[in-house]
Amino acid sequence: MEVTKTLDRFKALLYQLNDLRTASSVLGWDQETYMPPKGVEARSRQIATLARMGHELFTSPEMGELIQNLEDTGLPQWDPDSDEARLVRLVRYYYDKQTKVPGDWVQAFSKLTSEARVVWREARARADFNLFRPYLERIVDMVREYANFFAPYVHIYDPLLDNYERGMKTAQVRALFQRVRERQPRLLQRILERPQVDNAFLHRYYDPQKQRELIQRMVAHIGFDLERGRIDLSTHPFTTSFSVNDVRFTIRIKENDLSEVLSGGLHEMGHALYEQGVDPKYDGLPFGHGVSLGVHESQSRLWENLVGRSRAFWAYFFPVVQRVFPENLKDITPEDFYRGLNRVEPSFIRVEADEVTYNLHIILRFELEIALLTDELQVADLPAAWNEKMKAYLGVTPPDDAKGVLQDIHWSQGSFGYFPTYALGNLLSAQIWRAMARDLGNLDDFMRKGEFQPLLGWLQERIYRHGNKFEPQEIVQMATGETIQADPYLDYLEAKYGDIYGL
């Protein structure tokens, strides 16, 4: 009975913590979508207050005592893989991390990044890095300070990466990225030597409201529950979850680029499907969300690319799009549409990058982050270093800061260690797809008929329902039978684009 009472109190505090996190997330979602520009000062203060309250509650002596008590009395009698045992061990992991970070730092960092996001938007609008530079300098200093709370470490980047991909080390990421470098640039070079695919039809005028209605119809057909979610507009598309029954994502619409809403919408839908697929019994607990950003990104990239850029997908959905935009697409075939969406062309903007060049955008950011944190690169020199790497890796030089160093929101949020998870997600997406095909058979057959429930059901059973109960690499092993590898994704790219470009 004593263990039961302790566990009940433990969970009660965790639910309170989730309420504070959710309240902060609602404020953040509103800030990105509907908040008037002059609300930023008050909003920054509100978010900072909630961040501090959450940190103080989680790192309180009572929480520490509850964890210790359950470790002493609960863990010896529970199955090691039971929800109770896994929950205590997970909270211990988070508690040990957060008790090393002072509350004053948490509040100051939250306030700084809330303000920095607004300045970043203005700087990007003006294509002027110098507006954002002093904020980024302070953010880099505070991120270094954060990493040092976890010293000693093998690499200063390890504690940051661990925040997004639990258990992953910088050396592991470098090894995977090295394999990508060995094969992906060669594929890109071979493609660039071939005649280019035509996608001019994607850049005709497409009515924004019809685009919004189209993507909403598509994601609902695939399986996104609009009674437990919604779709809005924002500068930078993102997904947020307030509960398993309130999952929201945003899109960005360009009237002269239909691919933006299709790729971005399916990408964010992938994140949202994951969050809606978590077992409801975990709602409000630390289990109640995706296990890591790399695994999460595997789902957004799987739905965006392996599904949404496949020939079979458009065999079913192209007639739907053609009915919405009959004049724009009257001279286009499903094969034209498929090839146009898969055009490979080095570009400035990461979120618009094709599959063949995307990982190179990520490797660039990964290397710059490490250089900043190890003092090999100063913030003032970041735009020039960015442009040099863009030229070296992709053969293009951004014309201004907006299309270069200012294009991503992540650094304004202080999210160092985040970028590698995008490429890790790419690699995982192909591994997961291969495992799904082993179990279900030819996945194209389902997609040609518009039947997505078998795919979604497999993912819910193998990945989504578990939420954050298991370690990221345990989930990968459970779903695929392997640890994370680079070659399945590289094999997928070479087969797909070899076909499209006649290599």
> Which residues does the annotation mark as catalytic?
268
Report helix, strand or coil for 74. Answer: coil
How far apart, in Å, are the Cα atoms of 12 and each of 57, 355, 367?
Answer: 12, 44, 42
Which H, E and C letters describe 39-54, residue by residue? HHHHHHHHHHHHHHHH
Q: Match 């990221």 to its residue by tokens.
A: 472
Q: Where are the alpha helices (DSSP H) in 129-207?
A: 129-148, 158-162, 170-192
> What whole-number distance in Å separates Cα of residue 171 and Cα of residue 333?
46
Nearest CA to 215 among 292, 325, 377, 112?
A: 325
> What whole-number distance in Å separates Cα of residue 435 and Cα of residue 437?
5
Residue 50: how many CB atoms within 10 A of its CB?
22
Q: Report the C-alpha dihedral over residues 265, 268, 270, 274, rounded to 10 degrees.
A: -140
In terms of C-beta density within 10 A (0-12 exposed, 13-18 middle, 19 or more buried), how is residue 89 classed?
Answer: middle
Taking each helix axis from N to C end, the angle separating 40-58 and 103-126, rounded to the nearest 10 degrees, works out to: 150
> What whole-number distance in Å separates Cα of residue 353 and Cα of residue 334?
22
Cβ atoms of residues 366 and 177 within 8 Å? yes
